[in-house]
Structure 1
Amino acid sequence: MLRVVLEICLTTYILVSGAWHAGWCWERVVPQLEAGGHRAIAPDLIGMGQDHTPLSTVTLAKWADQIAAIIREQDEPVVLAGHSRGGIIISEVAERVPQHIATLAYLAAFLVESGETLMSTATKLPRERPVEISIAQEGGTTLVRPEALDATFYNMTESAWVDRARSLVSAEPMAAFTTPLSLTDEKYGSVKRAYIECINDYAIPLALQRIMQDALPCSPVFTLETDHSPFYSAPDELSACLQKIG
């Protein structure tokens, strides 16, 4: 008797990292999604992680085109998740390939209206804890200061994971922070949006997360009692939220 075993992938997740991070930051989440029968892809953005493209040539549009190309290769519509700065990337991707995306999942992410930039959105709320960014004199790159990384991004994360993040973060182009988004109701607006809030987030405070959601409503909305980086501080809870979205 011939037995045929079919491997069924329930959902494909594309995981987009935030500023100064790369695909490595999802390393505690990807195995959990895969254990649930899903497929998870956490690419290094152009110029980040193991991709050594000169940052002077990197733009928000190139990042969005890169992720859109990955999505086009998938057999079914995907859940496209973006953390922090990754939010502006997934929004631009949705404008490019709305029919290939089942849901946009914003994880403590910038949810930016068309015509606005990440920087203009970030200033909508006075900050008690400004993120200290070191701006390079040449090439228009930015890099978060180590002390800000600890106190602002990883304030509830075990020290071993904080040390790992500190060893892996890298500079990125300032252009991504200052490029206005170009989104339409017909394309971007046709894609379902979900949001995962982080209550103890000092990088994008909860109040700002909710101001952005007021302008661009999301459903469902999940709330985690974590810092800005639940992929390290609460991977179990984050993976569960993502699977509910999928």
Structure 2
Amino acid sequence: MASFVLIHGAFHTGACFDLVAAQLRARGHAVLAPTLPGMGGDEAALRAASLEGWARFALNACHALCSESGGPVVLAGHSRGGSVISLAAEIDPAAADHLAYICAVLTPAGEDRAKLPGLMPSQPGMQAASAMVENGAGIVMDGAAALPYFAQLCPEDLREDAISHLVAEPLGPLSTPAEVTAQRWGSVPRTYIECLQDRTMPIENQRGMLALSPGTRVVTLDSDHSPFYCVPGPLADALEALAG
């Protein structure tokens, strides 16, 4: 049995992984897909959230599952969640046996880190669909307006679910880069699960980040930015393969 800790991206909660988690559990694996502290909270909760706090939260989940199952631990992050798992691996490289980046932010080590902002796409439509809340402590996204970017290929019966779980995103972690080193973060095997039809993080941006982090394995899915809704079976297969 393997263990999977699944870290959601911006504006989402752990519920986005429900379909994938159910498939992995049905195959005998242990899964945690928590909602990061502060997500959707009031001003105090939003301001209290930090990237380091989230990274340590993810590490605690890895440690809990490892002690419970004793099997390999895969720490996966979607979208902004890539920064969370990167910093977690930098803090404690031994906590996870494999890192999985699901169309996620992949921060390179060393001087190439300065090139990352140029690979972050500017999406005017998404910016128009967002608004500050709680005195600037967080950002909310209009679900209907975000759907063409987040889940345009999502099955019709899951579209409502795809936007119903969107919540306020703390501004602090979103604007904090993960600083990683080749010696610590770079010592953990990692795989990038690229999504060909992604409109939030277009494939050229995903591959631009990959080019800055040589040694990263790649798995390709024909999916939008939400493979946990669009192709949950293939995503579960890809994650399970990493535990082997």
Provide TM-score, normalisation by structure 2.
Answer: 0.88
Alpha-carbon spacing, 1:26–1:166, altered in 2? closer, same or farther (3 Å)? same
1:36 and 2:27 are equivalent in the alignment: yes
1:190 and 2:182 are equivalent in the alignment: no
Residue of structure 1 in register with 2:227 after alignment: 230
> 1:1-246 maps to which residues of 2 (within 5 A)?
10-48=1-39, 54-73=45-64, 74-75=66-67, 76=70, 77-114=72-109, 121-124=116-119, 127=122, 130-132=125-127, 133-136=130-133, 138-246=135-243
Higher helix share: 2
Aligned counterparts of 2:40 and 2:14: Cα–Cα separation in 1? 7
Aligned counterparts of 1:231 and 1:185: Cα–Cα separation in 2? 30
Q: In the alignment, is the contact (CA less than 8 A) between 1:56 and 1:139 conserved in 2?
A: no
Residue of structure 2 in register with 1:3 after alignment: none
Aligned counterparts of 2:7 and 2:161: Cα–Cα separation in 1? 19
Aligned counterparts of 2:114 and 2:149: Cα–Cα separation in 1? 17
Q: In the alignment, is the contact (CA less than 8 A) between 2:62 and 2:95 conserved in 1?
A: yes
Aligned counterparts of 2:40 and 2:229: Cα–Cα separation in 1? 17
Gaps of 5+ in 2: none
Q: Which moved more, 1:69-78 or 1:192-201?
A: 69-78
SS at match of 1:160: helix
Q: Which has the larger radius of gyration?
A: 1
Runs of 4+ in 1 over 6 A off after TM superposition: 49-53
Residue of structure 2 in register with 1:7 after alignment: none
Aligned counterparts of 2:171 and 2:42: Cα–Cα separation in 1? 17
Aligned residues: CA RMSD: 2.5
Give 1:120 shift. Answer: 7.5
Provide TM-score, normalisation by structure 1.
Answer: 0.87
Q: Which moved more, 1:164-173 or 1:70-79?
A: 70-79
Q: In the alignment, is the contact (CA less than 8 A) between 1:141 and 1:172 conserved in 2?
A: yes
Q: In the alignment, is the contact (CA less than 8 A) between 1:44 and 1:50 conserved in 2?
A: no
Gaps of 5+ in 1: 1-9
Amino acid of the structure 2 residue aligned with 1:231: F
Alpha-carbon spacing, 1:40–1:95, altered in 2? closer, same or farther (3 Å)? same
Give 1:47 shift. Answer: 1.4
Give 1:136 shift. Answer: 2.8
Aligned counterparts of 2:163 and 2:135: Cα–Cα separation in 1? 23
Give 1:169 shift. Answer: 0.8
Q: In the alignment, is the contact (CA less than 8 A) between 1:113 and 1:181 conserved in 2?
A: no
Q: In the alignment, is the contact (CA less than 8 A) between 1:44 and 1:51 conserved in 2?
A: no
Q: How many residues align?
A: 236
Give 1:72 shift. Answer: 2.0
Superimposed CA distance per residue, residues 165-211 of structure 1 (whole angstroms, 9 cap, x where no aligned partner): 32221101111122132212221111011010100000000000000
Q: Which moved more, 1:37-46 or 1:137-146?
A: 137-146
